[in-house]
Amino acid sequence: MKNSLGTSVILTLAGESHGEMICAILDGLAPGIPVDEGFIARQLGLRRPQGLADTARRESDCFNIVSGVFEGRTTGAPVSILIPNENVQSADYERLRGLPRPSHADYAAHVRYDGFEDWRGGGHFSGRVTAGIVAAGAIALSALKAKGITVGTHILECAGVRDLPFNASDSEALAAEVERISVMEFPVLGDVKEAMEARILEAKADGDSVGGIVQTAVCGLPAGVGEPWFDSLDGVIANAVLSIGGIKGIEFGSGFALAKMRGSEANDAFGVRDRVVVTLTNHSGGINGGLSNGMPLVFDAVVKPTPSISRPQQTVDLRTGDPATLEITGRHDPAIVRRVCVVVSSMVALVLCDQLALRYGTDYLK
């Protein structure tokens, strides 16, 4: 459903890049979940631009929870989170009106909304809106953690520099990795931060941008969550994650590499560990037939290079229909891969809360 995600636990998202505030309503949470505002603030901090490798737009992300929480816990009624926009420079965008930015939503939105869209800073399509996802996702992550389910995302690749992959077939080792990266501002498993940052700044110096791949793991998810056809567990995660601006693909487990494998190599043989059925490898990424299989859920998502670059680009003036040249001068990220990590984890946490509530009832996360 447009701007709403979920069936039993539902996030509704509103707000624009240069509007007054971002609004997120998170409905259907079990009652009694502790809401830790410090944790929400820390999660928003992970999404916030910082350093030279991010946009110069700086938002304090002061948020305000105005419903659904009483005496520090969820009530079961919808939780409303408001995050004001503060550092807005719409003047940067005045020059862009009618000139759609290549590989941005501008042109498609113009056709869809017939010119009535709020075009400033990408409007409702802006990455700014993900602040609402991260704030709501923080509550979801807390609730999952209390049930032993953890979610973490790292930069698997950025600007051609590759991080170590998750250890997907060893649940315990993976859980430790997930815990470690969950609090990192630049979440990588190996020693690749400096190399990645150097390449990002190089691109920035060229008036250009870079992309990458993020990798997400979920530990502790019980087997049997999801559905076989439509709204399969991989399907609902893909639907959620592909909503995030700039994400153009997703693969579960060994993903596209499976195309070159044979079945004897790709199949995850079953074994028993501590009386629990496990798989000895995890090419499946923890999902078979749309259902979780009890192993860690692992997927990669590709983030395209940020489309806002300062180099001159060819476009069309929508007011005249003539070709035009565009030079973007606003504040932009040369790479969003780092900032996307916490957004993906948040989104996945929201999806899992929904799936668990559907499977085990509305009180499951209490």
Q: Can residue 344 be called a binding residue for its own copies (CB under 8 A)?
A: no
For 57, 102, 158, 308, 326, the CA distances from 203, given in Å and listed in that order, are 19, 18, 12, 12, 19
For 27, 132, 365, the CA distances from 72, given in Å and listed in that order, are 16, 19, 16
Taking CB under 8 A as the criterion, the residue among 147, 164, 249, 331 binding its own copies is 249
Q: Which is nearer to its own copies, 49 or 245 (CB)?
A: 245
Q: Can residue 254 be called a binding residue for its own copies (CB under 8 A)?
A: yes
Q: Can residue 274 be called a binding residue for its own copies (CB under 8 A)?
A: no
Q: Which is nearer to its own copies, 70 or 180 (CB)?
A: 70
Task: Single out the residue of 353, 244, 361 nearest to residue 10, CA to CA.
Answer: 353
Q: Which is nearer to its own copies, 41 or 223 (CB)?
A: 223
Who's near 44: CB < 8 A, 6+ residues apart?
Answer: 61, 63, 83, 131, 134, 135, 138
Three-state DSSP state, 321: coil
Taking CB under 8 A as the criterion, the residue among 121, 152, 187, 245 binding its own copies is 245
Q: Which is nearer to its own copies, 141 or 358 (CB)?
A: 358
Q: Can residue 160 be called a binding residue for its own copies (CB under 8 A)?
A: yes
Cα(118)–Cα(124) distance, integer angstroms: 7
- Fill in the per-residue mask, 281 to 320: x = in contact with its own copies (CB under 8 A), - = not in contact: --xxx-xxxxxxxx-----x-xxxxxxxx-x-xxxx-x--
The sign of the CA dihedral 175, 180, 182, 186 is: negative
**Closest approach of its own copies to the CB of residue 147, in Å:** 14
Task: Single out the residue of 120, 142, 29, 100 nearest to residue 326, CA to CA.
Answer: 100
Q: Can residue 77 be called a binding residue for its own copies (CB under 8 A)?
A: yes
Q: Can residue 13 be called a binding residue for its own copies (CB under 8 A)?
A: yes
Question: By rule CB under 8 A, what count of residues binds its own copies?
Answer: 155
Q: Which is nearer to its own copies, 74 or 167 (CB)?
A: 74
Half-sphere exposure of 75 (CA within 13 A, CB side): 11
Q: Can residue 102 be called a binding residue for its own copies (CB under 8 A)?
A: yes
Task: Single out the residue of 366, 182, 357, 217 nearest to residue 300, CA to CA.
Answer: 217
Judge residue 258's burial from the number of C-beta atoms within 10 Å of its C-beta, 0-12 exposed, 13-18 middle, 19 or more buried.
Answer: middle
What's the angle, vertex CA 13, arms to CA 11 and CA 16, rounded to 5? 165
Q: Which is nearer to its own copies, 42 or 264 (CB)?
A: 264
Taking CB under 8 A as the criterion, the residue among 147, 173, 184, 364 binding its own copies is 364
**Closest approach of its own copies to the CB of residue 113, in Å:** 4
Q: Can residue 167 be called a binding residue for its own copies (CB under 8 A)?
A: no
Cα(362)–Cα(364) distance, integer angstroms: 6
Of 192-211, binders to its own copies (CB under 8 A) are 203, 206, 208-211
Pairing of strands 10-14, 4-5: antiparallel
Of 33-62, binders to its own copies (CB under 8 A) are none
Taking CB under 8 A as the criterion, the residue among 45, 148, 190, 224 binding its own copies is 224
Q: Can residue 116 be called a binding residue for its own copies (CB under 8 A)?
A: yes
Q: Can residue 250 be called a binding residue for its own copies (CB under 8 A)?
A: yes
Can you say how many angstroms the Cα of residue 64 is from the centroid of all Cα atoms in its chain? 21
DSSP labels for 67-111?
ESEETTEE-SSPEEEEEE-----THHHHTTTT-PPTTSSHHHHHH
Q: Can residue 352 be called a binding residue for its own copies (CB under 8 A)?
A: no
Q: Which is nearer to its own copies, 179 or 251 (CB)?
A: 251
**Closest approach of its own copies to the CB of residue 293, in Å:** 4
Q: Can residue 94 be called a binding residue for its own copies (CB under 8 A)?
A: no
Q: Which is nearer to its own copies, 10 or 46 (CB)?
A: 10
